[in-house]
Amino acid sequence: MKLFVGLDVSKAKLDACFLLREDDTNTILWQETVANSESGATMIKDKILRFHEELDFDKILVGMEATGQYSMHPSLFFSNDPELKLINVETIVENPRVIHRFSKVWTEEKNDKLDAQIIAEFLTTGKHTKSQPREEKFVALLRFTRTRYQLIRQMTEAQQHYVENLYYKCNTLSSDLKAENISTSVFSSTMIQLMNGDISMAEIRTMNSVELAALLQKFGRGRFKDPVKLAKVIRKSVSDSYRLGKLAQDSIDINLGVQMRVIRGFEQEIKIIDKAIENIMETIDSAKTLLSIPGIGPVYAAGIIAEVGQIDRFNHEAQLAKYAGLYWPKHQSGNYQKEKTPMSKSGNRYLRYYLVQAANSVRRYIPEYEAYYQKKYKEVPKTQHKRALVLTARKLVRLVFALLSDHQLYIARSEAMES
């Protein structure tokens, strides 16, 4: 006999369905709604122990959908409970899309109790994802890497607002810097001090190139190789840009100052998160594997490890790529095969983000990945960088899967051939 426990998890409650499977027949053993709290989960646990004592199950599975913060506590509770471990209870946290597709075949109706039963029925098929309990350090790492992801998104939005306001103040600056191939960013300390300091656009217009170059060197602490060229570009931009009235100019200056303080605040918080990530990574054995890959530092390695969890959950690298959403579904009917298919919009967006960011870094250190990136970049006339980077990330998945599966450190091809 086998027991399959389906849990429909919401913010306030857990709907449980105990499904008994014997001789290919499913029977509902118990159904109840309890609070999504430790006391509610304990009630379900006690029922599992009591039924097991009476019926002596060969196998017990507890399954639920991955519903973010709501499913975290019950999944940890059932995975790590010592009494449930003694009777080999396995906890499954499944992708909601998989359960949804299964439910469409099973029934058209929907309610919380029925959803719990559908999850239990799905577990009986044996097609659920492999699941292993997360250790506390992996849970902590996951919270840090996802918080960092959100902070990066928010900082990027603040940077976009800053550039928007900068356009109102000096509308040709960004394009002029790009046109002259000036590497200085509008977010560099020198440019921020120039655009947000006490110097007005009118004062910059009155300066000659030598005077402005000297000021730039002062702001940049003498780091510019060709300050006169930069000064000429800035003077041209200031001269060509629209002139605003005092009231409008003052409003833009205030907005620029606010947005820059917001950006600096995000940068400080991200540094705190990065330090915390590094501290946890020192306690994780698999971290050394990913850190051995040139271009992957503690933050990118942490993001990948936190989302992947135990690599044993995946049977092959294609399965890992699909989990990250780095795959292109095939469209085929009869003799027709669609040549170009869009990348899947499903998958773990956090893992996809860290793999793509890691790939962009790795290609700068490993010639093989840079060559692959350049090849893919040249294949299309539009969105070259985005496409090439995503495909490079897909290539990186193979390396990540192989190293984590074999518990090996990265060895460059030239070194491997010599050995």
Same domain, residue pair 51 and 113: yes
One domain, residues 122 and 150: no
Q: Is the pLDDT of residue 79 over 80?
A: yes
Predicted pLDDT at 199: 86
pLDDT band (50, 70, 90) for residue 333? very low
Same domain, residue pair 253 and 174 = yes
Is the pLDDT at 331 greater than 60, yes or no?
Answer: no
Question: Are residues 80 and 111 located together in one domain of the fold?
Answer: yes
pLDDT in the model for residue 346? 72
Please give the residue range of the domain that contains residue 86.
2-133
Q: Would residue 138 count as lying in a domain?
A: no
Question: Does residue 54 belong to any structural domain of this protein?
Answer: yes
308 found inside a domain? yes
**Pair 260, 208 in one domain:** yes
Same domain, 151 and 251: yes
Q: Tell me the pTM.
A: 0.77
Number of domains in the chain: 3
Same-domain status, 245 and 318: no
Q: Which of 195-199, 250-254, 376-380 has the lowest mean pLDDT?
A: 195-199
Domain final position from 133, 165, 184: 133
Residue at 53 is within a domain? yes
Domain of residue 21, CATH code: 3.30.420.10
Task: Judge if 262 and 350 occupy the same domain.
Answer: no
Q: Is 372 a domain residue?
A: yes
Domain boundary residue, one of 133, 153, 174: 133
Asked whether residue 264 falls in the same domain as residue 292, the answer is no
20 and 119 assigned to the same domain? yes
Residue 146 has pLDDT above 90, yes or no: yes
| H, E, C per residue of the chain | CEEEEEEEECCCEEEEEEEEEECCEEEEEEEEEEECCHHHHHHHHHHHHHHHHHHCCCEEEEEEECCCHHHHHHHHHHHHCHHHHHCCCEEEEECHHHHHHHHHHHCCCCCHHHHHHHHHHHHHCCCCCCCCCCCHHHHHHHHHHHHHHHHHHHHHHHHHHHHHHHHHHCCCHHHHHHHCCCCCCCCCHHHHHHHHCCCCHHHHHHCCHHHHHHHHHHHCCCCCCCHHHHHHHHHHHHHHCCCCCHHHHHHHHHHHHHHHHHHHHHHHHHHHHHHHHHHHHCCCCCHHHHHCCCCCCHHHHHHHHHHHCCHHHCCCHHHHHHHHCCCCCCCEECCEECCCCCCCCCCCHHHHHHHHHHHHHHCCCCHHHHHHHHHHHCCCCCCHHHHHHHHHHHHHHHHHHHHHHHCCCCCCHHHHHHC
Rounded to whole angstroms, how far apart are CA atoms 89 and 173?
63
pLDDT digits (tens, 9 = 90+) for 401-413: 999 999 999 988 6
For 118-136, write each residue's pLDDT tens digit: 999 999 998 887 766 667 7
What does residue 21 show for φ and ψ, rounded to 5 degrees?
Answer: -115, 120
Judge if 293 and 234 occupy the same domain: no
Q: Are residues 92 and 175 in the same domain?
A: no
| Final residue belonging to a domain, choices 133, 157, 172 | 133
Higher pLDDT, 94 or 136: 94
